[in-house]
Structure 1
């Protein structure tokens, strides 16, 4: 759906510079009331979450490494 919207916007542009400006507007995150850019809440990890994720990845890596050598 996003690709179709992007194609429609590109079709309406008169030149490459306008296409680039349109893409920048389309993909730029929204601003808060204070004027700062926001991130999705799912993109932030605290220290404990990051360590748990690294431990999970290490466990999966060792499991896969064990399967390759067998």
Structure 2
């Protein structure tokens, strides 16, 4: 398994720092790492996966950057 730190650091080196999604028990360590080490503005918890996709798409349209769902 890839460590959450390694995964987030790898994304960060590629300029990817925006996260949107629903907390998930299978990804709890990744979700906890993102919550602990990213800003409130860059980690948005949504009500469902569809909202997360819409939020990430809007982020891309507004900034030209990639978001993670």
Q: What is the TM-score when the length of structure 2 is the normalising length? A: 0.30
State the structure with more CA Rg.
1
Higher relative strand content: 2
The higher relative CO (CA closer than 8 Å, separation ≥ 6) is in 2
Higher relative helix content: 1
Q: What is the TM-score when the length of structure 1 is the normalising length? A: 0.30
